[in-house]
Structure 1
Amino acid sequence: MTAFNFELAFSRNIGWITQDEQAQLRGKKIAIAGLGGVGGSHLLTLTRLGIGRFHIADFDKFELANFNRQVGATMSHLNQPKVDVMADMAHDINPELTIEKYSDGVTASNLAKFFSGVDLYVDSLDFFAFEAREMVFDYCAEHGIPAVTAAPLGMGVALLNFMPGKMTFEQYFQLSGKSRTEKILHFLLGLSPAMLQRGYLMDRNAVDLLNHRGPSTPMACELCAGVVATQALKILLDRGRVIAAPTGLHFDAYCNKLVTTWRPGGNNNLIQKLSILLAKKQFIEMIQ
């Protein structure tokens, strides 16, 4: 049996990063909340980048409905906890990894421990997990932890970085005090001001936001992993310009489009307010 060797295993990273940078990444710790469609791919991609330490959180188990997009969803993993499956898969890539698992998800009681010593937070929570998402992003803002979120939308990815000292998640999305329906619309339009994915939705009946149901693609999840790992590299190594909210990126592989979005004031921006009002009107018409 071949013995594991870190330097050899990740030697093909060298060139795009230096030996010294690879050693730096090996010592970094990333927290990932949510190990579903994007979270599992984030963990494995960042592991292959050479990140050496992780805190991962998810309370769910793999089921058949996950098969179209979640890297850990296989017949052999059915009904197994996502944190255990994904930790095993990551350890199979790098047996030297340090992984701390949070099988109850991220909660108010474990929040400080989950973020202890963390260099970067990667958001992979379920779209509708507003309470948990608001809590973790507030913690990151308060404690100066960079936070990255990439949404798998249609066949593309929408990216937002929340950097210390810059606009916070709440300042951008303004979810506090909103109703459930308002949070859904504010989050969706905030993630995707350009809404590139809207033009090729083939079956609108597949979208049921009130019941937390919507279509997804494996392509979008993998695009998210590539984009987030690149942002992680730049942030952790302090290499190059890192865009931060209210600026974002939206790339759609189906439309062959890349758009840089800019919404000063976040969802309080006049253009955003008009978009949200229009979306709310359309939403009400859909459910009547």
Structure 2
Amino acid sequence: MAESNTERRFDYAQAFSRNIGWVTGAEQEALRNKCVAIAGAGGVGGVHLLTLARMGVGAFHLADFDTFDIPNFNRQAGAFMSTLGQPKVDVMARMARDINPEVKIRTFPQGVNQGNLRDFLQGADVYVDGLDFFAFEARKQTYAMCEALGVPATCAAPLGMSVAGLNFVPGGMSFEEYFGWGDLPELDMAIRFLVGLAPTALHRSYLVPGGINLAERRGASTSMACQLCSGVAATQAIKMMLKRGKLLAAPHGFQYDAYRDKFVHTWRPGGNRHPLNWLAIQLAKRKFSAMLAEQSK
């Protein structure tokens, strides 16, 4: 007679045996002893967690202050009618433990802030950025702490039906050096972030008018892009943790657009100070200033 689900015991080696062949047995065991810090448990952060949990990563620090709501349904892995109003960190931690009952998860239900960032990143082998696009101050502080503690970081951003990726490694170009946020106003940070993430803007040609509302800090997002991001971010994180394969770090970046079937590898020495990025920023400022004026009518 077949065992019932309640009678079967979890077995780490068996659960992640199908990873072997892409990683070695020794590398799988190494992942079992690694810790990933993820800020944000929504559209990208939640699926990052589940993807890395299915790779057998043994520990996570997960931060998010939000609860699930109906507008999350189009893209967020933990958004269901059954989870409405529940804290995202609790739902996603529960889902990860349902994959690997042995996984160690520390939750930070207040999100990341100046008071807990050191604790959030302490002991992490890599930081995976799952913050909302508009979380400028939290993102700025988190990357600064990554730099201070020597924690490598990866960011895979969902743009349209594409993913734009950037890595930041100890001793390499920092987040601030690349994006040049300083103490700029939010609109300027948003533009610099968007241009820096995807200098060639493969997604721009099919954006429907009204898809971005900076005044309301709202942008269109798709499940396809979030899924693409999880594959990219998890792969970059694994390369960092296992120290395996070639890693492109800032000022190198890349974007793959599944809608247009195009991939670009970008290299912007100086980051947003590069002439091409600087020009794109000036053009975008004009466009978004006009957009804000129209949206405020």
What's the TM-score bracket when you normalise by the shorter of the two chains?
A: over 0.9
Is 1:262 the equivalent of 2:240?
no
For 2:201, the aligned partner's letter is M
Is 1:240 the equivalent of 2:245?
yes
> Which residue number in structure 2 is paired with residue 140 of structure 1?
146
Of 66, 77, 92, 2:72 maps to 66
For 1:236, the aligned partner's letter is M
> Which residue number in structure 1 is paired with residue 3 of structure 2?
none
Which sections of structure 1, spanning at least 5 residues, go unmatched?
A: none
State the Cα deviation string for residues 243-287 of structure 1 (Å, max 9, x = none). 000000100000000100111100111111110000111112223
Question: CA shift at 1:45, angstroms?
Answer: 0.1
Question: CA shift at 1:180, angstroms?
Answer: 1.2
State the distance in 2 between where 1:178 and 1:29 align. Answer: 33
Are the counterparts in 2 of residues 156 and 220 from structure 1 also a CA contact under 8 Å?
Answer: yes
For 1:32, the aligned partner's letter is I
State the distance in 1 between where 2:28 and 2:19 align. Answer: 8
Are the counterparts in 2 of residues 121 and 145 from structure 1 also a CA contact under 8 Å?
Answer: yes
For 1:287, the aligned partner's letter is L
State the distance in 2 between where 1:287 and 1:41 align. Answer: 32
Are the counterparts in 2 of residues 69 and 218 from structure 1 also a CA contact under 8 Å?
Answer: yes
Is 1:272 the equivalent of 2:272?
no
> Which residue number in structure 1 is paired with residue 56 of structure 2?
50
TM-score when normalising by structure 2:
0.95
Is 1:229 the equivalent of 2:234?
yes
State the distance in 1 between where 2:114 and 2:289 align. Answer: 34
Question: CA shift at 1:31, angstroms?
Answer: 0.2
Question: CA shift at 1:210, angstroms?
Answer: 2.2
Are the counterparts in 1 of residues 214 and 292 from structure 2 also a CA contact under 8 Å?
Answer: no
For 2:61, the aligned partner's letter is H
Residue 30 of structure 1 aligns to a residue in which SS?
A: strand
For 2:67, the aligned partner's letter is K
State the distance in 2 between where 1:112 and 1:284 align. Answer: 37
Of 212, 216, 228, 2:217 maps to 212
Question: CA shift at 1:201, angstroms?
Answer: 1.3
For 1:209, the aligned partner's letter is L
- When the two chains are superposed, the root-mean-square deviation of aligned CA atoms in Å is 0.7
Give the 5 Å matches for 1:161-200: 161-200=167-206
Is 1:155 the equivalent of 2:155?
no
State the Cα deviation string for residues 55-100 of structure 1 (Å, max 9, x = none). 0000000000000000000000000000000000000000000000
> Which residue number in structure 2 is paired with residue 37 of structure 1?
43
Question: CA shift at 1:49, angstroms?
Answer: 0.5
> Which residue number in structure 2 is paired with residue 87 of structure 1?
93
Question: CA shift at 1:206, angstroms?
Answer: 2.6
State the distance in 1 between where 2:165 and 2:223 align. Answer: 17
Aligned pair count reads 287
Residue 152 of structure 1 aligns to a residue in which SS?
A: strand
> Which residue number in structure 1 is paired with residue 4 of structure 2?
none
State the Cα deviation string for residues 167-216 of structure 1 (Å, max 9, x = none). 000000011121111011001111111100000112x1231112111111
In terms of mean alpha carbon deviation, does 112-121 or 84-93 score higher?
112-121
Question: CA shift at 1:144, angstroms?
Answer: 0.9
Give the 5 Å matches for 1:94-105: 94-105=100-111
TM-score when normalising by structure 1:
0.98
For 1:253, the aligned partner's letter is A
Of 14, 21, 26, 1:20 maps to 26
